[in-house]
């Protein structure tokens, strides 16, 4: 990945950082729970900004005090209920050459947080908008989830109830991309239950209190997650990452390409070759092996899915690979994989680490 210093947006002026001279709106990422994630640029920007817009002035004042930056009279509230009304004042300040820094209580502004409308208005007015990148709950949860990062979308917070909620949930489970959902601890159980009703075997990761002392990353299926969290008193910030519905029909290479769905390889030469050094343990041959035209027996299908699951494949990826390898229907391979994994879960010794109990 190449980076061009000072590359400007379409129709905008080039420049990097907060700069001097003309005013600017600066979106500044703040820690999502660990003060050790404060960057040098964050401190410099808060120190030099003429105005600091924030969701909660008390929390931002405490952050600035913690990093040794006096807030003075520079703080301005900017939240969901007043952002639109604040825009004229802030654009006027930037037009006068002032630097307007925008922070939220945690993470990156404008991602399910205030800042998006101000950014759009500033860009439309020809005012420079720049960013001090840093912590983001969305990206942190995505990369630690273990699910595909090749294509993803951010759903944000779901509607609390009614038809709008049902339609959004339907859209999430039908999307071929990995989806990041923000959720409150009080509604986590309900959301996981709704996902499980639509697709009980869908892979999910529940990420709680990321970067904090009690960080937790739970991985499993939607049905397992619903069962696990229904009996827990959940606290803290929660992000749910939901696997895509499958390989996008419009992407013919996604299933076998590195970085495709789940990031696992499901393609190797029929002779077992997996590159210069031969096959790896994580490879499942996707091409039909030499055999008679008779339909594979149930025992053969079970053996194939057991081998695939043992390499770390998910139920869905196992079904895809085994169906292609043995020439059976995906439904049959999927059913066998679910059965094998359920038996494995039931036979797991009490206290042994399970798929849904990992803390990262």
Average pLDDT of span 307-316? 83
Which H/E stretch holds residue 93?
helix 83-95
Q: Is the pLDDT of residue 134 over 80?
A: yes
Higher pLDDT, 280 or 226: 226
Q: Return mean pLDDT, the chain.
A: 81
Q: How far apart are CA 319 and CA 308, in angstroms?
A: 9
DSSP code at position 297: P
Average pLDDT of span 204-224? 96
Structure confidence at residue 195 as a pLDDT band (50, 70, 90): very high
Mean pLDDT is lowest, of 83-92, 200-209, 270-279, 330-339, for 270-279
| H-type alpha helices, 268-329 | 298-310, 315-326
Q: Tell me, what's the pLDDT at 345?
A: 56
Q: Is 318 exposed, middle or buried (0-12, 13-18, 19+ CB in 10 A)?
A: buried
Q: Is the pLDDT of residue 269 over 70?
A: no
| pTM score over 0.75 | no
Q: Is the pLDDT of residue 275 over 60?
A: no
Average pLDDT of span 145-164? 94
Structure confidence at residue 337 as a pLDDT band (50, 70, 90): confident
Domains of the chain in sequence order: 24-135 (3.40.1010.10), 138-246 (3.30.950.10), 264-346 (no CATH)
Q: Is 167 exposed, middle or buried (0-12, 13-18, 19+ CB in 10 A)?
A: exposed
Average pLDDT of span 264-287? 33
Q: Tell me, what's the pLDDT at 69?
A: 97
3 state SS for 103-155: CCCCECCCCCCCCHHHHHHHHHCCCEEEEECCCCHHHHHHHHHCCCCCCEEEE
Q: Is the pLDDT of residue 55 over 80?
A: yes
């Amino acid at each position: 990945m190449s980076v061009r210093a000072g590359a400007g947006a379409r129709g905008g002026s080039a420049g990097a950082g907060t700069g001097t001279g003309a005013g600017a709106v600066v979106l500044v990422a703040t820690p999502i729970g660990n003060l050790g994630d404060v960057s040098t640029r964050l401190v410099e920007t808060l120190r030099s900004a003429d105005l600091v817009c924030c969701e909660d002035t008390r929390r931002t004042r405490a952050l600035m005090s913690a990093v040794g930056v006096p807030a003075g009279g520079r703080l301005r509230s900017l939240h969901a209920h007043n952002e639109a009304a604040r825009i004229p004042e802030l654009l006027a300040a930037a037009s006068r050459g002032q630097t307007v820094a925008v922070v939220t209580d945690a993470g990156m502004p404008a991602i399910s947080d205030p800042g998006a409308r101000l950014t759009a208005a500033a860009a439309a007015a020809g005012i420079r908008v720049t960013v001090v990148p840093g912590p983001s709950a969305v990206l942190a949860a995505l990369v630690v989830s273990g699910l595909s990062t090749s294509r993803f979308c951010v759903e944000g917070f779901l509607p609390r109830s009614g038809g709008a909620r049902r339609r959004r949930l339907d859209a999430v489970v039908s999307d071929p991309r990995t989806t990041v959902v923000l959720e409150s601890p009080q509604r986590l159980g309900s959301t996981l239950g709704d996902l499980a009703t639509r697709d009980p075997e869908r892979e999910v990761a529940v990420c709680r209190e990321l970067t904090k002392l009690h960080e937790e990353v739970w991985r499993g299926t939607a049905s397992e997650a619903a069962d696990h969290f229904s009996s827990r008193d959940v606290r803290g910030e929660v992000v749910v990452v939901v696997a895509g519905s499958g390989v996008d029909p419009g992407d013919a290479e996604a299933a076998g390409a590195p970085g495709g769905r789940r990031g696992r390889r499901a393609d190797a030469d029929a002779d077992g070759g997996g590159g210069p050094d031969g096959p790896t343990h994580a490879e499942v041959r996707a091409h039909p092996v030499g055999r008679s035209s008779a339909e594979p027996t149930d025992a053969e299908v079970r053996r194939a899915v057991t081998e695939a699951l043992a390499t770390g494949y998910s139920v869905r990826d196992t079904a895809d690979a085994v169906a292609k390898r043995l020439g059976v229907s995906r439904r049959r391979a999927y059913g066998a994989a679910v059965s094998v994994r359920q038996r494995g879960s039931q036979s797991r010794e009490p206290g042994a680490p399970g798929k849904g109990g990992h803390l990262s």
